[in-house]
Structure 1
Amino acid sequence: MAQSAAPVTAAAPALTPVSLRAIAPWAVFFGLLMLVLLYFVGAEQGAVALLSGETVHEWVHDGRHLLGFPCH
């Protein structure tokens, strides 16, 4: 019983660090996307509305209350 039945596996390769130059475009893209989303959830109504009507307001109504934005 000195021999093991489990196969020997090679060590996992080390992860290489990701440069800031590779991450920067994605960080800017997602940052802008989050700002647009925050605008539509938090400010798209009334005098600063980009779109007319109440459609966007109704789509994000519950999320607006969940995040603490007043809308009534």
Structure 2
Amino acid sequence: MGKPDNDFLVYLPVYDMWQEQDGRLLLFDIHKMDKRAPRFIEAVHRIYNAGYDMDYISDNFLRTAICRDGR
């Protein structure tokens, strides 16, 4: 099995963000994340500033993830 490119997987709470959005049109704008999810962005900056890299994961990723041999 290969080695991961990044140190962390960080859950992106997109459904939580959409739940807080008014109206029926559910938009996702990565450039407004600091306003839509300030605590999430703060955590991302803290991880990055500590010298680590990360990838974002979704609810779908978590639903389909499989744990094998404790990993």
* TM-score higher than 0.5: no
- Whichever structure has more strand as a proportion of its residues is 2
- Whichever structure has more helix as a proportion of its residues is 1
Q: Larger Rg: 1 or 2?
A: 1
Q: Where on the TM-score scale, by shorter chain, does this alignment land: which range?
A: under 0.3
TM-score by length of 1: 0.23
